[in-house]
C-alpha cells in the first residue's frame, strides 16, 4: 500500500512530528510512505522509513496565520503558491498513492485551501482514485463562524472518505472543540493517540533530576524561557535545562545565554522524551505531542498553554489533562518566575500520577484501520 501524507506546520513542529510518527507506523506495517512537508525543515525529527518531500516552505508571521512567509522571509506571493501547487500535483502523479491523507485540512489551514482542494480534486480524477482521509489531533481550534463549519462539512461530504481522529474517545472526543453532526459522526474513526513507543530513561543519564523547559520545535516560548531563566537564578541548588526550537534557534540560544542565568540553554534535542523519564519536572506549553510525552513518561508537569491571538486549543487540552494529577496549569500572560517555583513546590508534594499506555498505540492502529478502509474502498470501485 502506498500512503501519501500532506502536512504544513506554520508555527510549531507538532503537525509534522505527528505526520512522521504516522508515516513510520505505515512503514513498519510494510507500506511505502511519502510525507509532503510544506513547513520549514525540522532536522531533529525522525523520518526513518519515510520519504520526506520538502515543498517550498511556509511559516506564519508570528501568530498571524493569514500572513504566510516564504523561504526568503518575505510574504509569499501568487507565484510562490503556484510553485507549491505544482509540486503537489507532480508528486502525486509520480507516486500514485493508494491513500491520500491531508493533515488538519479541511478543519483548518483555510489559508492553504486552494492547494489542498486542487490536490484532492486531482486525486478524484485519477484512474485509480485513492482513499482520501483527513487526519486531526484530539483538540481543534473551535470554529468562530458558522460558514466555516458549513464549508468543512461540505468538503468532507463530497471529497473525503473518512476522518482519522487521533485521540482516545474516553478522554477527548472531537465534540469538545468542533460541532459533530450525524453526517460527520459517520465518517469519524478514533484511532487512539499518535505517539512513538513509550520512552525509556536517557541512557547517559542526561536530564536526571533536572527541570526541563521546552516550547516545541517552533520559534515561540520566549516568555516561558525568560521566566525560567530568572527562576534558575533563584534556585542554584536545582538544574534547569532550557531547550530552544525553531529555525532561528542558534540566535535565540545566544541571546538567552547572554542573560547570565545558570540554566543550561541549548537546542531542542531528539532525546527529549527519554530525558523526561527521569527529570524532576517538565515545564512546557501544551501542544499535542508534548502533552502526550508528559503522560507517557509520568513526569510531573507545569503547562503554560499557548494562547496568543485567538489560540484556545492548548488551554482546552491542559484543562482536560490537569484532572489526571501531578499536572499544574499556569497562564502565559501573567507568568512569573515565582509562579514557576510555587508550581514546582506544589508538584513535589502531589501524589505521583499513574502511568498508563492505554490508548497510546494510535499510530499502529491507524495503519491497520487504513488498510481495512482501503480494502472496502477498492471493493466499491
Summarize pLDDT for 73-123 with one digit per residue, the tens: 999 999 999 999 999 999 999 999 999 999 999 999 999 999 999 999 999
The per-residue pLDDT for 217 is: 74
Statement: residue 357 has pLDDT above 90: no
User: Both 71 and 105 in a single domain?
Assistant: yes
User: Both 140 and 218 in a single domain?
Assistant: no
Statement: residue 218 has pLDDT above 80: no
Rounded CA separation 9/103 (Å) = 9
Rounded CA separation 131/127 (Å) = 13
Statement: residue 381 has pLDDT above 80: no
**How big is the chain, counted in residues?**
381
Task: Tell me which H or E stretch contains 147.
Answer: helix 146-159
Statement: residue 310 has pLDDT above 80: no
| % residues pLDDT > 70 (the chain) | 100
The residue written with cell numbers 491523507 in the block is 101
User: Both 238 and 369 in a single domain?
Assistant: no
User: Both 187 and 220 in a single domain?
Assistant: no
Determine, yes or no, domain membership for 202: no
Query: Which residues lie below 8 Å from residue 222, measured CB to CB, with a gap of 6+?
Result: 252
The residue written with cell numbers 496568543 in the block is 308
Domain range holding 98? Answer: 2-197+360-380
Summarize pLDDT for 157-193 with one digit per residue, the tens: 999 999 999 998 887 889 988 999 999 999 999 999 9
Indicate the number of domains in the chain: 2
Query: Which residues lie below 8 Å from residue 289, measured CB to CB, with a gap of 6+?
Result: 14, 17, 18, 195, 216
User: Both 50 and 136 in a single domain?
Assistant: yes
User: Both 150 and 25 in a single domain?
Assistant: yes
Rounded CA separation 315/285 (Å) = 9
Determine, yes or no, domain membership for 67: yes
User: Both 109 and 217 in a single domain?
Assistant: no
CB atoms within 10 A of CB 45: 17
Query: Which residues lie below 8 Å from residue 365, measured CB to CB, with a gap of 6+?
Result: 191, 192
Rounded CA separation 236/263 (Å) = 9
Is residue 53 a contact partner of residue 46, using CB atoms and an 8 Å limit?
A: no
CATH code of 232's domain: 3.40.50.2000
User: Both 228 and 143 in a single domain?
Assistant: no
Amino acid at each position: 500500500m502506498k500512503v501519501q501524507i500532506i502536512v504544513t506546520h506554520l508555527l510549531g513542529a507538532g503537525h509534522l512530528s505527528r505526520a512522521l510518527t504516522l508515516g513510520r507506523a505505515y512503514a513498519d506495517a510494510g507500506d511505502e510512505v511519502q510525507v509532503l512537508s510544506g513547513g520549514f525543515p525540522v532536522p531533529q525529527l525522525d523520518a526513518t522509513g519515510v520519504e520526506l518531500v520538502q515543498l517550498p516552505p511556509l511559516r506564519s508571521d508570528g501568530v498571524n496565520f493569514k500572513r504566510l512567509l516564504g523561504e526568503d522571509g518575505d510574504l509569499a506571493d501568487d507565484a510562490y503558491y503556484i510553485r507549491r501547487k505544482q509540486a503537489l500535483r507532480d508528486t502525486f502523479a509520480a507516486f500514485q498513492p493508494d491513500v491520500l491523507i491531508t493533515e488538519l485540512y479541511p478543519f483548518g489551514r483555510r489559508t492553504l485551501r486552494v492547494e489542498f482542494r486542487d490536490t484532492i480534486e486531482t486525486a478524484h480524477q485519477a484512474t485509480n482514485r485513492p482513499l482520501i482521509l483527513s487526519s486531526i489531533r484530539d483538540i481543534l481550534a473551535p470554529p468562530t463562524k458558522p460558514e466555516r463549519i458549513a464549508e468543512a462539512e461540505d468538503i468532507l461530504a463530497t471529497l473525503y472518505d473518512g476522518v482519522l481522529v487521533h485521540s482516545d474517545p474516553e478522554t477527548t472526543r472531537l465534540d469538545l472543540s468542533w460541532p459533530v453532526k450525524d453526517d460527520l459522526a459517520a465518517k469519524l474513526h478514533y484511532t487512539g493517540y499518535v505517539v512513538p513507543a513509550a520512552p525509556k530513561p536517557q541512557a547517559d543519564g542526561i536530564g536526571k533530576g533536572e527541570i526541563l523547559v521546552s516550547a516545541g520545535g517552533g520559534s515561540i516560548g520566549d516568555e516561558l524561557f525568560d521566566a525560567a531563566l530568572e527562576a534558575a537564578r533563584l534556585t542554584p541548588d536545582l538544574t534547569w535545562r532550557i531547550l530552544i526550537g525553531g529555525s532561528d534557534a542558534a540566535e535565540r540560544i545566544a541571546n538567552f545565554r547572554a542573560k547570565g542565568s545558570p540554566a543550561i540553554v541549548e537546542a531542542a534535542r531528539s532525546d527529549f522524551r527519554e530525558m523526561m523519564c527521569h527529570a524532576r519536572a517538565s515545564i512546557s506549553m501544551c501542544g499535542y505531542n508534548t502533552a502526550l510525552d508528559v503522560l507517557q513518561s509520568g513526569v510531573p508537569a507545569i503547562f503554560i498553554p499557548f494562547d496568543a491571538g485567538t489560540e484556545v486549543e492548548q488551554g482546552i487540552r491542559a484543562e482536560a489533562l490537569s484532572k489526571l494529577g501531578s499536572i499544574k496549569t499556569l497562564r502565559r500572560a501573567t507568568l512569573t518566575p515565582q509562579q514557576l517555583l510555587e508550581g514546582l513546590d506544589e508538584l513535589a508534594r502531589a501524589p505521583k500520577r499513574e502511568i498508563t499506555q492505554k490508548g497510546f498505540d494510535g499510530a499502529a492502529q491507524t495503519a491497520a484501520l487504513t488498510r481495512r478502509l482501503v480494502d472496502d474502498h477498492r471493493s466499491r470501485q
